[in-house]
Amino acid sequence: MKKLIIGITGSIAAFKTVQFISDLVKEKYEIEVMLTPSAAKFVTPTSISALTKKKTYIDVFDDDPGCITHVDIVKDADLFMIVPASATTIAKCANGIADNMLTAAFLAATCPKLIAPAMNVHMFENKATQRNIQTLKDDGVLFVEPAVGLLACGDTGKGKLADYDHLHLMMEYALSDHPLQGKKVLVTAGPTQESLDPVRFLTNHSSGKMGYSIARAAFILGATVRLIHGPTSLKPVPYIINQSITSTQDLFECVKRHHTHYDYIIMSAAVADYTPVKTSTEKIKKNDNELILKLKKNPDILDYIGHHQVEHQVICGFAMETQDLIENASKKLNKKQCDLIIANHLKTEGAGFQGDTNVVTIITQDSMKDIDKMSKSDLSYIILKECMKIGAKK
Ligand code: PMT
């Protein structure tokens, strides 16, 4: 279980951290919380302790019996976060001032540190604050940039506490040891749409969840990530390049433009094999009892990049089959010249489209590994680990 120290400072955004803590407790992190005296005017130790089931610290002399809390509590911490961080606390941390439990513990901590500022736009943009932030960045402290918007004081600008998605993703990034640092990962995700006329298209059931999870995991592991995705209802993944496409041809053009620059390519998009020969410029009228659509073959993108693979590159395909899955997936691995293929057990409960879980077999040139039902998020790390194993040998 990872241990997080969460510091809260005097900012109106402090109430959001209470919800954040509640979510993290459910995710089974071990959490210790420290408030500055100003933070205790916005949120109470009582509400936080009710969530963490632990003491919430404020005063630097508020030691537990037999220990020097600000030193001992951080010794085995995996991450120290300050959410939200006021201008004052940032200034103190940048200058090694340790005059309350939070700032003293921050100075004593040797684990990774992450700061999420929240304050008035002019306080944030002030040269003194920017100088202090730069000092902390130079010392290796990570930051979650504040968002731009209407602030509690009535001003508009940069200073809002970053939203949950940014905070959580950066927290996971800070907890990782970044085995993909310096690597570039390209992921395709979601369905494609092939237009029949101005109001209709051919598509499939892909939600994009599998590919978005892989892109997220690749970022957390330290990679620079490009996610090329078809139409989905998912929110963009923070901190990566999110690029949207519609048709298979769009996806092909986009992949062709970028594939040679990437160390790892993971093709989890569900791509239409066929597209209408002709897209009608007007809505197709309902006349006869039957309508025959004439389709032509789309380019096979995985096949193209497999046959144009650059040195040291690892290419991972997916396979979607309803019959003879392993046999057909293995054929795809060889025909499309990829390094590994993820075969979805479509007919197994909890696998395939739309859900949050998947059941797959990972097939490489010399191995086959069955992976029981698990979250698409956990599976993403397994897929990336397999890719890295192959990458290390190239
Ligand atoms: O998005 P979710 O709802 O989370 O669902 C995830 C998923 C089930 C869609 C995903 O895990 C998956 O299996 N994606 C690949 C689906 C697919 O297109 O399979 P396929 O067997 O038809 O294609 C084999 C491989 O070739 C795939 O990597 C595909 O991206 C690629 N392909 C296919 C056709 C084509 N014209 N060009 C391609 O590049």
Ligand 1 site, residue 247, Cβ cutoff 6 A: no
Q: Which residues of 31-64 are buried (b: 16+ CB within 10 A; e: fewer)?
A: bbbbbbebbbebbebeebeebbeeebbbebeebe
DSSP helix/strand/coil, 386? helix
> Percent of the chain scored above 90 by pLDDT?
96
Residue 17 token pair: 């951290």
Determine whether the shortest distance from the Cβ of 20 to ligand 1 is under 6 A: no
CA distance 316 to 309: 12
Asked if residue 209 has its Cβ within 6 Å of ligand 1, the reply is yes
Which atom of ligand 1 is the closest one to the Cα of 232? 1
The verdict on whether residue 301 carries a ligand-binding annotation is yes
The pLDDT value recorded for residue 288 is: 86
Task: Output the CA angle 8-122-106, nearest 5 degrees.
Answer: 25
191/199 Cα distance (integer angstroms): 17
Rounded to an integer, the average pLDDT of 175-198 is 98
Please identify which residue in the block is written with the tokens 């439990």.
Answer: 101
Contacts of 150 (CB under 8 A, 6+ apart): 156
Average pLDDT, the chain: 97
More confident residue, 67 or 370: 370
79-118 pLDDT per residue, tens = 999 999 999 999 999 999 999 999 999 999 999 999 999 9
Average pLDDT of span 246-266:
98
Residue 300 labelled as part of a binding site: yes
207 CA distance to ligand 1 centroid (A)? 12
Q: Which are the catalytic amino acids?
A: 153
At which residue do the structure tokens 């606390």 appear?
Answer: 89
Chain-centroid distance of CA 28 in Å reads 19
| Sheet strands (E) in 246-313 | 264-267, 274-276, 295-297
| CB distance 206 to ligand 1 below 6 Å | yes
Q: Which residues contact 202 (CB under 8 A, 6 or more apart)?
A: 193, 194, 196, 272, 274, 275, 276
Is pLDDT of 62 > 90?
no
Q: Which residue among 204, 296, 302 is best mutated to probe the pocket of ligand 1, counting the most ligand atoms within 8 A of its Cβ?
A: 302
According to DSSP, residue 140 is labeled T
Q: Is 214 annotated as a binding residue?
A: no
Rounded Cα distance, 67 and 49, in Å = 20
How far does residue 337's CA lie from ligand 1's centre (Å)? 15
Two tokens at 312?
């040291």
pLDDT in tens, 283-315: 999 988 999 999 999 999 999 999 999 999 999
- Which of the listed residues 188, 213, 271 should we mutate to test ligand 1's pocket, taking the one with most ligand atoms within 8 A of CB? 271
CB within 8 A of 49, min separation 6: which ones? Answer: 33, 55, 56
CA of 321 to the centre of ligand 1 (A): 10
Residue 268 CB–ligand 1 contact under 6 Å: yes
Q: Is 301 in the pocket of ligand 1 (CB under 6 A)?
A: yes
Closest ligand 1 atom number to CA of residue 332 = 24
The reply, when asked if residue 283 is annotated as ligand binding, is: yes
DSSP 43-106: S-HHHHHHHHSS-EE-STT-PPTTS-HHHHTTTT-SEEEEEEE-HHHHHHHHTT---SHHHHHH
Residue 125: the pLDDT is: 97
Q: Is 113 in the pocket of ligand 1 (CB under 6 A)?
A: no
Alpha helices in the chain (DSSP H): 14-26, 45-52, 69-72, 87-94, 101-108, 121-125, 127-138, 164-175, 209-220, 248-258, 301-307, 325-335, 376-393
pLDDT at 316 > cutoff 90:
yes
CA distance 39 to 9: 5
CA 142, CA 138: separation in Å to the nearest integer?
9
76 labelled binding-site residue:
no
Q: Is 217 exposed, middle or buried (0-12, 13-18, 19+ CB in 10 A)?
A: buried
pLDDT at 127 over 90: yes
Structure tokens at 197: 């006329």
Q: Tell me which of 188, 229, 247, 320 to substitute to probe ligand 1's pocket, judged by most ligand atoms within 8 Å of the beta carbon.
A: 320
CB atoms within 10 A of CB 250: 16
Cα(205) to centroid of ligand 1, in Å? 11
Give the Å distances, CA to CA, from 256 to 17, 218, 387.
43, 21, 21
**pLDDT over 70, % of the chain:** 100
Instruction: Please give the pLDDT value at position 63.
Output: 83
